[in-house]
Amino acid sequence: MYSDIKNHNIALYNLVFRPKKVYNNRNPFERRDIYLRKIRENMDRDREEKTAAFNSITLDRLEEHLFFFHKMFDIVRLVNPVNKTVIDYRNGNTDEIDEICYDYWKRGEICDNCISVRAYLANKFFMKLEQTGEAIMVVTAIPLEGTHKPAVLELLKNATDMMMIGNGIYSEGRMVRNLIADLNELIVKDDLTGVYNRRYVNERLPGDIAKAAMEKVHITVIFVDIDNLKEINDTYGHVNGDKAIVNVADAILQSIRTDRDWVARYGGDEFLISLYNATKEDAYKVIERIRSRIAELEPEGEPSVTVSLGIYTMQDTLLTAQELIELADQKLYEAKQSGKNQTAD
């Protein structure tokens, strides 16, 4: 399948960029636009074909087509996108093994743009480009039905020799890898602040909760709300309002452990912080640092900013991501009801 797409794309390239008479009167930009449009059409058609083929995948159907998948793809595996583990499938039975799914990429951390958890949540297949070493991989994630635990089929294909950038086909170089990193980051990052976005919360928090449950450690969620953002926007303009949002985001980033904690912009003036293996007491220390950093980052002559915060720690009772978010949000509501610049736990 992929070799057919590659050959067809090369033919399109030769047709458009090494034109016959029909293209002689077109300038290079017009030829480029034609080429890119055709490539997009090919990708859309390929996606439609895969959607039809993978509309309803069950373990029985997977077993029937396993040999076919191994012929088409370099790696075929089942993963639990919530626990981030690889699933062993034999004789109709599934067992999670002691292998972390993201270890394959050799980066030592969870993938920011995890399409497997997205496929599981949306119940449809997703594709992305990823890199490992010098190889560029096309990753397809397809949710499975009828399993007692979350299960997603991952199909990985080495596409290094098929990448087309600029005026030719390149099998190596930093340009493609940097582009992939930028695209994957763009999907889960907030444009204004550079912190993660709400999509990332939905995809990352369930995995953190599962990991915390298995390791028997605490996980604490903090909701942060800018108290007077509307007043700043109305009085000083939206440019200053945006500055206030960015300053709060920077203050949070400077106050958490970047190797295990993370922050996302949850709404216009709200942020969600996830603190891994952190108690309520640890959370209060983070809050003290956040308030101090906000004061330090506040430029002279600009409106002062205060925040209200709600804290909830998962410790003795297991909670879903949605339950943990709702409980922390309820604490934020209590803090707002008590007045500005308050914290509730």
- Could you list the active site residues? 269
Residues in the chain: 345
H or E segment to which residue 57 belongs: strand 57-58
User: How far is it, in rounded angstroms, from Cα 336 to Cα 330?
Assistant: 10
Query: What is the number of other CB atoms lying within 10 angstroms of the CB of residue 79?
Result: 26
Distance of CA 288 to the CA centre of its chain: 29
| Both structure tokens of 49 | 């074909």
Which of the 8 DSSP states describes residue 318? -
H or E segment to which residue 131 belongs: strand 126-132
Pairing of strands 164-165, 168-169: antiparallel
SS3 84: coil
Region of 149 (left: φ > 0; alpha: ψ -120 to 50; beta: rest) is beta
Which of the 8 DSSP states describes residue 2? H
User: How far is it, in rounded angstroms, from Cα 94 to Cα 64?
Assistant: 16
Q: Where are the alpha helices (DSSP H) in 216-237?
A: 229-236
